[in-house]
Amino acid sequence: MNEEGLNIMLSHFLKNNTKFLQSVPSWEESIQIAAQPLLDQGAITTAYVQAMIDNVHKNGPYIVIVPGIAMPHAKNTGNINATGMSFLKLETPVLFPEGKEVSLLFVLAAEDSTGHLELITDLSSMLIDEDVMVKLLQVSSETELISLIEEVE
């Protein structure tokens, strides 16, 4: 764990993997768009994108980890080539099932069940801090996001 304060892993992974949009028509599309950077890099395949969407259909919107923030992910069934994370910020929240509003998406692609833990740890230390959460919901560019991440703790 990085007690030093710099969330290096998270900011490293998110670099060039962020998108900022006004709105999207549906939650399914929010996942597709948010995952696009990972898809472009070949870290995941389209099957993984579909798996993340199916996961919500099947298990409910539990990927909405805290109000307003979703972490779309699914089991790796051979659809993930490299661990990665991408980010999407929506000005107007999109509605997930059960009426859950989401304006931030952190797409997680975990190659195995341990390799990405540092990433998760970083994300956790951001979300645990309410001040950071508030700021996170207001970021409007990748630079802002990265500097916010790096200044945590």
Partner 1 sequence: MSSVAKQKSSIRARIQVVGGFLTNMVMPNIGAFIAWGILTALFIPTGWFPNEKLAEIVGPAITYLLPLLLASTGGRMVAGNRGAVMGAIGAIGLIVGSDIPMFLGAMIIGPLGGWVIKKFDKSLENRMPAGFEMIINNFSIGILGFILMVFSYYVIGPVIEGANAFVTTSIKAMVAGGYLPLLSLINEPAKVLFLNNVIDQGIYYPLGMQDTLSSGKSIFFTVASNPGPGLGLLLAFSFFGKKAAKKTAPGAIIIHFFGGIHELYFPYVLMKPLTIIAMIAGGMTGITVFNLFHAGLVAGPSPGSFISYLALTPKGSFLGMLLGVLAATIVSFVITSIILKLDNKSDDEENFSSSLEKSKAMKAEGKELLNEIITDAPAATEINKISFACDAGAGSSALGATTFRKRLQKKNISGIEVKHFRIEDVPDDSDIIVVHKDLYERALLRHKGKNIVTISNYIDDPSLRELLETVEKNKGTEA
CB 99 within 8 A of CB 65: no
Number of H helices, E strands in the chain: 6, 5
Q: Residues binding partner 1: what is the number (CB under 8 A)?
A: 27
Using CB under 8 A, which of 26, 60, 91, 151 touches partner 1?
60
What is the rounded distance in angstroms from the CA atom of residue 72 to the CA atom of residue 108?
6
* Max CA pair span of the chain: 40
| Interaction between residue 127 and partner 1 (CB under 8 A) | yes
Footprint on residues 71-110 left by partner 1 (CB under 8 A): 71, 73-76, 108, 110
| Interaction between residue 9 and partner 1 (CB under 8 A) | no
Looking at residue 98, its amino acid is E
What is the rounded distance in angstroms from the CA atom of residue 2 to the CA atom of residue 107?
22
| Interaction between residue 14 and partner 1 (CB under 8 A) | no
- Binding residues for partner 1, rule: CB under 8 A, are 55, 59-63, 65-67, 71, 73-76, 108, 110, 112-113, 116-117, 120-121, 123-125, 127-128
